[in-house]
Amino acid sequence: MARLTIVTVVVAILAFVLVFELLRRRRLRQKYAFLWVLVAGVTVLLSVFPEALAHASALLGIAVPSNLLFLVSLLILFGVSLQLSIEVGVLEEQTRRLAEEIGALRLRLEEVEWRSRLDPTSDQAADEAPVPTEDDVDGPRRCG
Amino acid sequence: MTATAPAAPPTRQPHAPVLVVLPALNEAESIGRVVAEVRHHQPGADLLVVDDGSVDRTADVARSAGARVMSLPFNLGVGGAMRAAYRFAFEEGYDCVVQVDADGQHDPSDIARLRTALADADIVVGARFAGVGDYVVRGPRRWAMRLLAATLSRLVGTPLTDPTSGFRMVNGRALSLFAFDFPEEYLGDTVEALVLASRARLRIAQVPVAMRERTTGAPSQNAFRSSAYLVRVVTAIVLAVARRAPIARPGSTVEATAT
């Protein structure tokens, strides 16, 4: 049992170090780091005091203590992936908004450029929307 | 709340009141002809082609045909393209925006009829299966469309025979909603947008139109796809109803209808 304790403690400490290192290199945001540090901490506690796990499972009516461990791990993983899905959705929405804005800005910029080429003396001369012709589309306007 | 909504810039230039929007993805073959046709039938209207990340010459062809072109940096889907267009139209101060398919299946001469119907509605949908034209659909897709039409008619409170039609015209009131709140997911731009609009107390009407054969591309008709479509339709409706009602932005509505 002592050997298993050592293995678990080592794994937990490695997890700690990894999280800390990622934080230090600014690869991981603090809001996510907190969860992983918590998980690593609980792992260390459980490997040092295995009775705590047995006690908790008895309290919840779970016959085999390791099942409680599995249940909790599954719940944590479920929560984390759900959270990530939400974040991805938010990011996608923001990217879409930016793409829409870029489309509109690019259109306005093209028209401003076209207008200033028509009449270099004033930058707000033409009232009507200019209609660029074929030879106006040669500039580098693709971005992806 | 006016301060939070990015209102239209104070120095708005006078514009043609109608903006015809053609969301286009790789439609270089048909876009030129469609743009020319729209200009022929609506000489006073402005044309905006939203190039939704095309890899062909769609943008160039549309520009040389005389349309303004908004090129999106990557593909956003019809919903995303329309959301960009609605936002743009709102900021530019248009009163009336009509969406027309770039593949040529909508007849631009019907725009005038949509416009007439807009007198008593905020959103007008050009609909197949309403007595005009001879467009035929069979199998699960037909059931899906029937179910969708029946459910939506009840939800919205107006008979709608073709709620997925992309041929629709909105006025300033609807525009001020869609400029900020337009569902861009699959079926969101058609089905969910109608539910959203009716929950924002906008009036919806339909005008029967004939759809023409697509000049390019083919509609998907196989059984698996149609069943998947049915599932997505049901999901879209359930979600549209379950979601929060749109928030009216009092400031923006006034802005858009004042001109």
We report the CATH number of the domain holding residue B29 as 3.90.550.10
Of B64, B69, B70, which has the smallest distance from its Cβ to A134's Cβ?
A: B64
Range of the domain at B31: 18-258
Nearest residue of B to residue A127, measured between CA atoms: B13
Would the CB atoms of A104 and B88 count as touching at under 8 Å? yes
Kindly list the residues from chain A whose CB atom is less than 8 angstroms away from the CB atom of residue B9. Answer: none
Q: How many domains does chain B have?
A: 1
Across the interface, which of A103, A136, A141 has its CB nearest the CB of B72?
A: A103
Pick the residue from chain B with its C-alpha nearest to A139: B60
Per-residue DSSP letter, B13: P
> In Å, how far are A5, A6, A48, A49 from A1, measured between CA atoms?
6, 9, 10, 11
Is B12 inside a domain boundary? no
Does position B96 have pLDDT exceeding 90, yes or no?
yes
In a domain, B9, yes or no: no
- The answer to whether the beta carbons of residues B58 and B87 sit under 8 Å apart is no
Q: Does B6 fall in a domain?
A: no
Residue with tokens 């001369």: A125
Among candidates A96, A136, A142 on the partner chain, residue whose Cβ is nearest the Cβ of B184: A96
Contact criterion met (CB < 8 Å) for B70 and A106: yes
The verdict on residue B45 lying in a domain is: yes
Residues of chain B in contact with residue A137, where contact means CB-CB under 8 angstroms, are: 59-60, 63-64
Specify which of A32-41, B51-60, B128-137 reaches the highest per-range mean pLDDT. Answer: B51-60
Whether ipTM > 0.90 holds is no
Q: How confident is the model at residue A126 (pLDDT cuts 50, 70, 90)?
A: very low
Whether B257 has a pLDDT exceeding 80, the answer reads no
Is B99 among the domain residues?
Answer: yes
Task: Answer yes or no: do B76 and A111 touch at CB < 8 A.
Answer: no
Look at residue B200 and tell me if it is in a domain: yes
CB B202 within 8 A of CB B174: yes
Contacts of A113 in chain B (CB under 8 A): none
| Shortest CA gap A139–chain B (Å) | 11
Backbone angles phi, psi at B153, to 5 degrees: -60, -40
Q: How many helices (H) and strands (E) does chain A have?
A: 4, 0
Q: Where are the alpha helices (DSSP H) in chain B?
A: 28-41, 58-64, 77-92, 111-117, 139-156, 172-178, 193-199, 223-242, 250-258
Pairing of strands B96-99, B168-171: antiparallel
Q: Do B88 and A127 touch (CB under 8 A)?
A: no
Q: pTM of this prediction?
A: 0.75
> How near does any CA of chain B get to the CA of A107, in Å?
5
pLDDT given at position B123: 95
pLDDT at residue B130 tops 70: no
Residue B13 in domain: no
Residue B71: what are its φ and ψ, rounded to 5°? -95, 120
Residues in chain A whose Cβ is within 8 Å of chain B: 96, 99-100, 102-104, 106-107, 111, 127, 129, 131-134, 136-137, 141-144
Q: Which two tokens stand for residue B166?
A: 């992309």
Q: What percent of chain B has pLDDT over 90?
A: 46
Q: Is residue B39 part of a domain?
A: yes
Q: Write out pLDDT tens, residues A18-42.
A: 888 888 888 888 777 788 888 888 8
